[in-house]
Structure 1
Amino acid sequence: MTRKSCIVLPDDYKGYDVDYFCVPHHYEDSLDSILIPSGLIQDRIEQLARDIAVELGKEPFAVLCVLKGGYKFLADLLEKIKQYYRFSSENSVPFSVYFIRLQNYEDNHSTGKVKVMRVDGLSFLQNKNVLVVEDIVDTGKTMQVLLEILEKKQPKSIKVASLLVKRTSSSSGFQPDYVGFEIPDRFIVGYALDYNEYFRDLNHVCVISEHGKQKYSNHSN
C-alpha cells in the first residue's frame, strides 16, 4: 500500500491566535500561536488508525511507543484502531504494546547524539509485524538509529507512524509510513510534546514563543 498523503502546513502558515482556543492559563504568555487545534488532531488520527488497520489486516502486531512524547498519540491512535475493529465487518486483531525511550534534545537544541534510555523486551520483535509510534520526526536521524536497532531483532515487518514530520533543511530524508501532518521548521509544544518537561498538558500543538523558551528554560528552573 502506498503511503497516504499527509496534511501539509505551508511555511507561511501562521496557525490560530491563542485567544481563539482554551489553553491552560499558565501557558497563555508562552505561545506564539496554535498550529494544530486538538479537534483537527483527533480527526486526523482517526483516519491514520483506519489506514493502519486496513494495511495490517488480520495479522496480530506489536506496537512500540517512543517515550515520552509519543504516549498521547499512542493512546489516541490505539483507541481509534480498536473503534475501527469494533464497527467494521473485520474481525478484531490482538496487539501488544511496548515502550522505548530516546533522548536527543536539550532545551530547543538537538544534541546530535541519540541516547537509548529505556528498552522493554525487544525479543518480541522476531517474526512479528511491528508498528513504531512516534510523536514527531525532525531530522529523521533518531528514527534511523532506532530502526537499525530493531532490524537486528529480525521482525517480519516494521512500519512507522508519526503524528508530525518537520520540514527542515537538516532532514536525513527519512519518511514514516504514516504521517498526520507535515509542518514548517518551528519549535512546537503540546499534545505531549515538551520543552524541558513542560507543555505536555497542552491539548493543541502550538508554537512556543521566545518568552516561553526563557520562562521554561533549564537555566530558569
Structure 2
Amino acid sequence: VCSLSRKAEGVGRPGDDLDLFCVPNHYVEDLEKVFIPHGLILDRTEKLARDVMGDMGGHHIVALRVLKAGYTFFADLLDYVKALSRNSDRFFKSYCNDQSTGAVKVLGGDNLSTLAGKNILIVEDIIDFGKTMQIFLSLVQQHNPKMVEVASLLVKRTPRSIGYRLDFDGFEIPDKFVIGYALDCNEYFRDLNHVCVISETGKAKYKSEAESPG
C-alpha cells in the first residue's frame, strides 16, 4: 500500500523546453518554458483525490469552486474523487432537494446560506498570499458548516504570504507568473494543458491587447 502525503510536492526543476510538448503554435513565442506537464498534474491530482477520500470520503460533501481559473482542476479532482468512491465501500455524495444526486453538488456564491451543517470542500487553483482564501473561509464559516477543508493545485512560495496553510495542496512553486491549465493572463492561455511560465514577450503582448480600445 502506497502512503500518500498531503504535503505539496516542491517544484524545484527549472522547467522543460517547449519543443518537448504539444503547445499551440500561437503561444510558442509567449511562453518561457513548461513548468508542470499535464501528465504530472493529473498524477498529483489523483493523489490529492485519495487524500480527500481518506479525510472526507465517509461524509456527504458539498464542493465549492472559488474562482473561474480553477474550473479545470476542480473538474479533474472531482472526477477522480467520484471514481474512487465508486471503487470503495465509502460513498462520496451530496444532496439536492433532499434527493441524492450521486455526485458532488456545486454551488454558486449566492447559495452559501444552504451550507449549514454540511461538509464543505473548497477547491482553488492557486494560493498566492492566502488572504483571499482566509476571507472566503470566514464567509463560509458564517453559515455554520459541519466541516470545511481546502484543496489547491498550486501554492506559491512568496515573502508576501500571510502564512495560511491549507488541507490538501498539489505543488509548491516559486514566485513566478504561471499560466495554463485554466490559469490565464487577461483571459488568454486557459486552453493550454500544461502549467507554463509566461515570457516577457507574452506579458507585454497580452497586457497591451487587453488595454487596447474596442
Name 1:93's counterpart in structure 2: 93
Aligned to 1:156: 146
AA aligned to 1:140 is G
Amino acid at match of 1:124: T
- The CA distance in 2 between the partners of 1:6 and 1:130, in whole Å, is 21
- Could you say what secondary structure the match of 2:58 adopts? coil
Structure 1 runs of 4+ aligned residues shifted over 6 Å read none
Q: Which residue is 1:138 aligned to? A: 128
SS at match of 1:195: coil
Deviation per residue, 1:23-58 (Å, 9 max, x gap): 111111100011000000001000101110121132
Aligned to 1:110: none
Output the CA distance in 2 between the equivalents of 1:211 and 1:21.
20
> How many residues get paired?
199
Partner of 1:39: 39
Is residue 35 of structure 2 the alignment partner of residue 26 of structure 1? no
Greater strand share, structure number: 1
Mapped partners of 2:79, 2:173: distance in 1: 25
Task: Using the TM superposition, name which of 82-91 and 56-65 deviates more.
Answer: 82-91
Residue equivalent to 1:71: 71
What displacement does 1:144 show? 0.8
Deviations 1:173-210 (A, max 9, x none): 01210000000000000000010011000000000000
TM-score norm. by structure 2 comes to 0.89
**One-letter code aligned to 2:114:** F
Q: Secondary structure at the match of 1:173?
A: coil
Find 2:199's aligned residue among 191, 198, 209.
209
Which residue number corresponds to residue 184 of structure 1? 174
3-state SS in 2 of match to 1:120: helix
Structure 1 position 92, deviation (Å): 4.5
Report the TM-score, using the length of structure 1 for normalisation: 0.86
Structure 1 77/61 Cα, relative in aligned 2: closer, same or farther at 3 Å?
Answer: same
Q: In the aligned structure 2, how far is the partner of 1:188 from the partner of 1:172?
A: 20
Q: Please say if residues 161 and 176 of structure 1, whose CA atoms lie closer than 8 Å, have aligned partners that are also in contact.
A: yes
Q: Percent identity?
A: 51
CA-to-aligned-CA distance 1:134-168 (integer Å, 9 cap, x gap)? 00000111111111111111111110000000000
1:166 aligned to 156, 164, 183, which one? 156
In structure 2, the residue matched to 1:59 is 59
Whether contact under 8 Å (2:81, 2:92) holds in the other structure is: no
Task: Please say if residues 35 and 206 of structure 1, whose CA atoms lie closer than 8 Å, have aligned partners that are also in contact.
Answer: yes
RMSD over aligned Cα atoms:
1.6
Match of 1:106 in 2: none
Q: Secondary structure at the match of 2:64?
A: strand
Distance in 1 between the 2:5 and 2:41 partners?
A: 19
- The answer on whether the counterparts of 1:214 and 1:220 sit within 8 Å (CA) in structure 2 is no
1:5 equivalent in alignment to 2:7? yes
Quote the residue 1:83 is aligned against.
83
